[in-house]
Amino acid sequence: MDLFIQLTLTGLTNGAILALAALGFVLIYKSSDVINFAQGEFLLVGAYVIFGMVAQFGLHWTLGMFLTVIVAVALGVMVERLVLRPMIGEPIISVIMVTIGLSSLLKAIVFTIWGNLPKAFPSFIPSEPVKILGATIGEDRLWAIVIAIAMLGLFNFFFRRSKEGIAMRAVADDQQAALSMGISVKKIFAWAWSIAAATAAIGGALLANIVGVSGDVAHFGLRVFPVVILGGLDSVPGAIIGGIIIGLLEQYTGGYIGQGLNQVLPFVVLIFILMVRPYGLFGQEIIERV
């Protein structure tokens, strides 16, 4: 029983971080139909920037986190301005290829500044073990869950209630029609990329706190793909629930069946779910009126 709870909690935290990375991914896909292959590198940037703030400049972690988010937003706006705006009107596939280039570029910049050796990270969020129902878990992992849930609430509110959020969904539905009512598509894209970069940076920071700072952070970002495909590429709740499902599945198979298989089983489940629901669990169906 203890093992079960232990695995569940670990799975939930991994899932929460996955979900944070996936949220940004979903946001970009939702507003612009672009699959962002640089999402993992956004995590990487977040991890290294907070490392720089906390370990190198010695700032308090709350301030460091705040500044990291600001850097991430600036990065998002810059990416939109310099990389995506010239691509407006080009086929989506070209934009997707550009994000692959962007991922290499970001990785190179990070490694140029900090070097590519793994760094020891002074845990910045208190990681005292906490006992819950007989299982022990680091406090930092609990924080990951709390932050992920808070973000979900925030995002849901943003998309359902705020004018900018509704405009963002409108752009995703029909860009030209959105343009015809004065919604600036450029502005919406800038919003989407900065929010995506910011959430990824938060995810990266949390991840760095748990596993340390190295290029592996970007690889963790690659696991976002099964998460979003499972949850539905364009669904915010799907990103969260997909993240948690993948996180739990990995832990359960690792704990009960054996290490190694945990890398495979999530994908097997993914295939089964896609056979039943091709749009993912919560993805938008294509509306057809007959």
Partner 1 sequence: MLSLNNIEVIYNDVILVLKGMSIQVPEGKIVGLLGSNGAGKSTTLKAISGLLKPEDGEVTDGSIEFFGEVIHHKDAADIVRQGIFQVMEGRRVFEHLTAEENLIAGGYIRRDANLKPDLEMVYTYFPRLKERRTQTAGYLSGGEQQMLAIGRALMAKPKLMMLDEPSLGLAPLLVLEIFDIIKRINAEQGTTILLVEQNANLTLGVADYAYIMESGRIVLEGYPDDLKQNADVREFYLGLTEVGSRKSYRDVKHYKRRKRWLS
HSE-up of residue 181 (Cα within 13 Å, Cβ side): 9
By beta-carbon proximity to partner 1, the closer residue of 30 and 141 is 30
Angle between helices 236-252 and 265-276 (to 10 degrees): 140
Site for partner 1 in 231-290 (CB under 8 A): 284, 287, 289
Tokens of 272: 């089964």
By the rule CB under 8 A, 163 interacts with partner 1: yes
Stretch that binds partner 1, among 13-21, 176-184, 200-208, 253-261 (CB under 8 A): 176-184
Say how far apart CA 244 and CA 8 lie, in whole Å: 10
By beta-carbon proximity to partner 1, the closer residue of 31 and 251 is 31
By the rule CB under 8 A, 167 interacts with partner 1: yes
By the rule CB under 8 A, 90 interacts with partner 1: no
Task: Please count the other Cβ atoms lying within 10 Å of the Cβ belonging to residue 69.
Answer: 20
By the rule CB under 8 A, 77 interacts with partner 1: no
Residue with tokens 């489940």: 269
Task: Please count the other Cβ atoms lying within 10 Å of the Cβ belonging to residue 155.
Answer: 20
The correct pick among 2, 90, 139, 173 for binding partner 1 (CB under 8 A) is 173
By beta-carbon proximity to partner 1, the closer residue of 53 and 178 is 178
Site for partner 1 in 182-201 (CB under 8 A): 182-184
Say how far apart CA 151 and CA 141 lie, in whole Å: 16
Closest alpha carbon to 144 in 158, 126, 131, 159: 126
By the rule CB under 8 A, 178 interacts with partner 1: yes
**Backbone phi and psi for residue 280, each to the nearest 5 degrees, phi listed first:** 85, 175
Residues 6+ apart with CB under 8 A from 151: 20, 23, 199, 202
Closest alpha carbon to 98 in 27, 37, 41: 37
Stretch that binds partner 1, among 9-17, 56-64, 74-82, 161-169 (CB under 8 A): 161-169
By the rule CB under 8 A, 89 interacts with partner 1: yes
Stretch that binds partner 1, among 99-107, 126-134, 159-167, 246-254 (CB under 8 A): 159-167
Say how far apart CA 107 and CA 202 lie, in whole Å: 17
By the rule CB under 8 A, 91 interacts with partner 1: no
By beta-carbon proximity to partner 1, the closer residue of 171 and 245 is 171
By beta-carbon proximity to partner 1, the closer residue of 182 and 260 is 182
Minimum CB separation from partner 1 for residue 287, in Å?
A: 3
Residues in the site for partner 1, rule: CB under 8 A?
A: 89, 163, 166-167, 169-170, 172-184, 284, 287, 289
